[in-house]
A and B are shown apart, each in its own frame.
Chain A
Amino acid sequence: MDALQLKRQLITFTELLFREGFLDEQFHQLQQLQDEKNPNFVVEVVSLFFEDSERLLNELAKALDQQNVDYKKVDAHVHQLKGSSSSIGAQRVQRVCIVFRNYCNEKNVEGCLKCLQQLKHEYAIVKTKLEALFSLEQQILAAGG
């Protein structure tokens, strides 16, 4: 597959991601921040986001699993997740976080658990999508584009 085709694929894929709302303008800005001085900025940030999110999701699962749910803690975690997701422009994750926080304020365990499932789902999607995106970019690089 030559670089040009790959590039086209990358563009359509990115467009799809934006259109379907997985990513928003923030991701664009993130990409703009990447220049010669730190060429791997986006990947670094996104992988940091992955690490962070996985940790937070685990923590959330743990926190919600307990007999007496510490909603403050849950809220803090969700807030963290919301911050980082909005920072990389993972729009859908961020939105679920908003709903999650509302449930959290209401101390609604059911809602929280539902949101956690949704969050995990969204996270998984965005992770796959982004990984696919990065691998495409890698391929472009490898193809010498």
Chain B
Amino acid sequence: MSLVHVLGFGLKVGHLIWMICWWFVSVISMNWFGNGGIMDPKMSLLGGKDPIGWWERVLGRISLIHHHCSQYVGSKRVSNTWWRKLLYTWLVGSTICSMWTFFYMSSQAAEKRKETLTSMCDERARMLQDQFNVSMNHVQAISILISTFHHGKNPSVIDQRTFARYAERTAFERPLTSGVAYAVRVLHSEREQFEKQHGWTIKRMDTIEQKPVHKDDYEPENLEPSPIQEEYAPVIFAQDTVSHVVSLDMLSGKEDRENVLRARASGKGVLTAPFRLLKTNRLGVILTFAVYKMDLPANATPNERIRATAGYIGGVFHIQSLVEKLLQQLASKQNIVVTVLDTTNQSYPISMYGSSSNASDDSLEDVSMLNFGDPFRKHEMHCRYKERAPWPVLEIATSSGIIVIAFLMGYIFHATMNRIAKVEDDCREMSRLKKEAEAADVAKSQFLATVSHEIRTPMNGVLGMLDILMDTDLDVTQQDYVRTAQASGKALVSLINEVLDQAKIESGKLELEAVQFDLRAILDDVLSLFSGKSQEKGVELAVYISDRVPDKLIGDPGRFRQIITNLMGNSIKFTEKGHIFVTVYLVEEVRDSSDVETISSPRNTLSGFPVPERRLSWSKFRGFSQEGPPCPSLSSFSHPVNLIVSVEDTGEGIPLEAHPRIFTPFVQVGPSISRTHGGTGIGLSISKCLVGLMNGEIGFVSEPRVGSTFTFTAVFDNGCSSSGDYGDPQINSQSNPSTLEFHGMTALLVDPRPVRAKVSRYHIQRLGIHVEVVPDLNHSLSSVTNCKTTKIDMIIVEEEVWDKNSGSSALFVNQLSDQGVAPKLFILTNSISSSRTGNRSSGKIQGCPAVITKPLRSSMIAASLQRAMGFRNRAITRNGEISRLALRSLLRGRKILVVDDNDVNLKVAAGALKKYGADVLCVNSGIKAISLLKPPHHFDACFMDIQMPVMDGFEATKRIRAAEQSFNSESQHGDGHGEAQGRAKNWHLPVLAMTADVIHATHEQCLRYGMDGYVSKPFEAEQLYREVSRFFASETNWTL
């Protein structure tokens, strides 16, 4: 039982230690994750709202702690050795524990064994004693029988036969005796009479004892007669088993004599020491009782007893067989070895039963005292286990189990620690690798950027030289070769530019400009870029910009243009018929209205060809799923304008399987595409990145053989001073001088297709012309005749309507000419290939309509209208000339300083500025310019060359600005001086850089050094006007 308990206890302890170990490990890991790590789970458990955020924070902390750890590598190592110590302590402790358990358990087992032995031994001893006592009592009973019937009766009623039979029949009462005999006391005086009466002589016993004989040669007749003694004790009655002792004088045997003497003196049963019995020659003891002639009192003296003695009764106890019988009764002979000893003489104990030889050498022995009723004799029973104690299997198993568990736990602990250390190392390694990888990525991008840039420079040389080569005397074949080389070179340069863009985007170096630009003008530009191609293919090209989109936006026009160009370029590539339609709306407009008018339905399209549902292209945009302006936090603009731009085409569409790869760099729909259409497939990827930089999203919808629509959103700042006034294009368009003359006119647009009509109306309205739309010619006629209040100045007819029925067209012309002052008639045509173009283009013949070629652009419409309506005398046909006029008005009378080290340049620049009426002063070094521009001075502007020897333009500008600043602060202190000047209190002279290479970086640098802008060298009227008008415009208002 207790073993089981111990085992259970051991298991429990093991379990406990196990738990502690886990707790320990978890605490360590928790400590690594830091305080936040422990605090935050509570939050996430309670709220459960922001598990990702929590993880981010945890990860952040891990990295932080990691950093921390790497700072204190030493302390980490200390803790490492501490773990090791702990581990060893644990191992040693658990070993000791298991050994203790082993010893404890085995001692328990030994004790138990001993207890068992003791109890068994005691049991045996008690039984032996009891049975002995029973036998002894019976022997005593026989002695009383003898005294009653032998000595009490005269003549005796007992003879040998009677006694033997009686003894035989009562033998079961004396289980331990092998036989009883009675010896009578015979004095020497009575010997003769006694011998006569019995017919035998008293024989002596000691001779037999001296030379023991075998059972076979035992012959009582051969025994010597007893010598003369004072008294004799010859055996007269004996049980059959011991009948050989009849006639032997008991007093002649050494042991018997002593026994007899002691027995008659004490009146109690006495025992001999164990000796070899006569005849059987086996070990035995003899119990002797004295038989008295009379009853003696209990306190009779030994002398009285001796005198009263009549004889002696003796019982032979055959110890060996008796004990064996006894042990057989107990049936446990197999287990233990029992030895019975007579220890009356302590130093020479006499073995009565068993021997020590066949007992095991196990030291475990139990001794029980035996009391056979003879106080003179002492007997002991020694018990031993026959077999050695069994192997303590249970103990060994338990303790080794503990050791195994402990070592396993130690191993787990060790493994955990190693694992943690390994993971930590791995983590460090990973972060290092990550850094390397990132560095490699950056290096790659930088490499690309550098290499692309480096390739561009020699490519310019190659292209330049090819140009020069082109101008030499070449035959046709050579020219063809050169042209091919040039085209390839240009393609290469554009490819390099794209790669450069990609690299820049990847390395995060691409930054967007924030300059004011006119979205409509940019789209017109792009349109004109593609107009040739679209006309060639007969594809209708149109742009529509919602009225609510502000005129001026602040953002990066170049990049915006790049996106549009990319998308439109793709569309043009893949569209053979139908249309390409670019629309720009505000995001709010599209989101708030599900209007079919705003968003064209698949059936109602520009060219009548079906297009995919455009709505799908932005269905995944985040900006649309939520209410309110998309990503308000992202835009750093004061008045963010969210544009949504769609490019819709009716081309061959994108195969469905290519949809997921569309925005991956260098991926094209199929290998055949690049063969037929060329290109690198990088454009869309760049566009996506650019859109991302503009805080927008890009998406598309495409149906094979129907068309594709790409839609993107972009966030710009509102360039108008107040955000409220966008909306009325007529007011806005006033700023454009080219459209002034059309302002207030009314046009009638004849177009049955609403979408197309809307586009046309949009472009015509940009010129300030009021537009009414009617679906066919008859309606238009009625509106011309009925509308008396508003005079219709022009009628613009779609080619489709015009061609449908030439008869009615002719009739219409005739009817128109009947109306007093006939409005001008225009036809909107898609392609120049039309055979009638030649006839109509002049528009001079009354009634024959003038032609406006699509794609519609306000400038182009304006030109056509001017040509047709005779505004030519005002000589406003070229943009450049408009600028020139405006420039003249801006620059007249201005005092301008031009700084350039190159005399030729200086002269040219001065000449150009003088032509616009400016008062020009030239200097050829920055230092001179600084001295001249020391405030107060009378210059209105300064044009500064950047690359000058001694002091370049940037440095000079910096010094000029410094001088202005110090003067400004001075004048603020001394108030009177500043007022006297009358000019602005803040001196800030507009300084424009003149540079030959107009690249992005230079522009930024210009602004950084305090310049106001730059113009390319040689002057370009339009650019000059744009730059100069920026800071002269406000002044113009109050000088005019």
Query: Residues on A close to B: CB < 8 A?
Result: 20-21, 26, 29-30, 32-35, 37-38, 41, 44-45, 48-49, 52, 76, 79-80, 82-84, 86-89, 92, 95-96, 98-99, 102, 105
Contact = CB atoms under 8 A, between A and B. Distances in A.
B905 A87 contact: yes
26 contacts: A21-B471, A29-B912, A29-B1018, A33-B912, A34-B911, A37-B914, A45-B907, A52-B902, A76-B949, A79-B947, A80-B901, A80-B902, A84-B902, A84-B903, A84-B904, A86-B996, A87-B902, A87-B905, A87-B908, A87-B909, A89-B1018, A92-B468, A92-B471, A95-B468, A102-B458, A105-B457
Nearest to B471: A21
B904 A88 contact: yes
Nearest to A50: B904
A83 B906 CA distance: 10
Interface in B588-635: none
B904 A48 contact: yes
Contacts of B949: 76
Q: Name B's interface SS.
A: helix
Contact of B1017 (A37, A41, A83, A95): A83
Interface string B912-941: 101100000000000000000000000000
Contacts of A98: 460-461, 464
Which residue, of B467, B471, B902, has the highest number of chain A Cβ atoms within 10 A? B902
B911 A20 contact: no
Contact of A41 (B904, B911, B945): B911
B464 A26 contact: no
Contacts of B1018: 26, 29, 86-87, 89
Contacts of A95: 464-465, 467-468
Which residue, of B468, B470, B901, B912, has the highest number of chain A Cβ atoms within 10 A? B468
Interface residues of B, number: 30
Interface in B462-483: 464-465, 467-468, 470-471
B464 A99 contact: yes
Contacts of A82: 996
Contacts of B1017: 83, 86-87
A7 B1017 CA distance: 31
A94 to B, nearest CB: 9
Nearest to A49: B904
Contacts of A88: 904, 908
A98 B945 CA distance: 18
A45 B468 contact: no
Nearest to B904: A84
Contact of A21 (B467, B902, B914): B467
Given A35-B915, A41-B911, A99-B464, A20 B904 contact: no
Given A80-B902, A84-B904, A86-B996, A45 B911 contact: yes
Which residue, of B470, B915, B1018, has the highest number of chain A Cβ atoms within 10 A? B1018
A88 B1018 CA distance: 9
Contacts of B468: 21, 92, 95-96
Contacts of A21: 467-468, 470-471
Contacts of A96: 468
Contact of A30 (B467, B900, B911): B911
Contacts of B945: 83
A87 B996 CA distance: 10
A86 B901 CA distance: 15
A34 to B, nearest CB: 8
A83 B904 contact: yes
A48 B906 CA distance: 10
A49 B905 CA distance: 9
B903 A48 contact: yes
Contacts of B912: 29, 33
A86 B900 CA distance: 14
Nearest to A85: B904
Given A21-B468, A30-B911, A99-B464, 19 more contacts: A21-B470, A33-B908, A37-B914, A41-B911, A45-B908, A80-B901, A83-B905, A84-B903, A88-B904, A88-B908, A92-B468, A92-B471, A95-B464, A95-B465, A96-B468, A98-B460, A98-B461, A99-B461, A102-B457
A130 B491 CA distance: 35
A87 to B, nearest CB: 4
A37 B919 CA distance: 13
B1026 to A, nearest CB: 17
Contact of A38 (B905, B908, B911): B911
A44 B467 CA distance: 29
A32 B470 CA distance: 28
A83 B471 CA distance: 22
Contacts of B465: 95, 99
A7 B1019 CA distance: 28
Interface of B: 457-458, 460-461, 464-465, 467-468, 470-471, 900-905, 907-909, 911-912, 914-915, 945, 947, 949, 996, 1017-1019
A110 to B, nearest CB: 15
A97 to B, nearest CB: 10
A95 B1018 CA distance: 15
Nearest to B908: A87
Contacts of A76: 949
B904 A52 contact: yes
B926 to A, nearest CB: 15
Contacts of B457: 102, 105
Contacts of B996: 82-83, 86
Contacts of B461: 98-99, 102
Nearest to B907: A45
B1 to A, nearest CB: 100
A125 to B, nearest CB: 11
B459 to A, nearest CB: 10
A45 B464 contact: no
A20 B468 CA distance: 9
A37 B468 CA distance: 36
B677 to A, nearest CB: 32
Contacts of A99: 461, 464-465
Contacts of A92: 468, 471
A26 to B, nearest CB: 5
A87 B904 contact: yes
A48 B914 CA distance: 18
Contacts of A87: 902, 904-905, 907-909, 1017-1018
B891 to A, nearest CB: 13
B471 A44 contact: no
A60 B644 CA distance: 56
A29 B915 CA distance: 11
B468 to A, nearest CB: 6
Nearest to B994: A83
Contacts of A35: 915
Nearest to B913: A33
List 9 tightest A-B contacts by C-beta distance, closest first.
Answer: A84-B904, A21-B471, A87-B908, A33-B911, A95-B464, A83-B902, A49-B904, A87-B905, A99-B461
Contacts of B464: 95, 98-99
Contacts of B470: 21
A35 B914 CA distance: 11
Nearest to B467: A95
A70 to B, nearest CB: 13
Contacts of B904: 45, 48-49, 52, 83-84, 87-88
A89 B465 CA distance: 17
Contacts of A79: 947
B901 to A, nearest CB: 7
Contacts of B915: 32-33, 35
Contacts of B471: 20-21, 92
Nearest to A75: B947
A49 B1018 CA distance: 14
A122 to B, nearest CB: 9
Contacts of A29: 912, 1018-1019
Which residue, of A41, A86, A87, A88, has the highest number of chain B Cβ atoms within 10 A? A87
A126 to B, nearest CB: 12
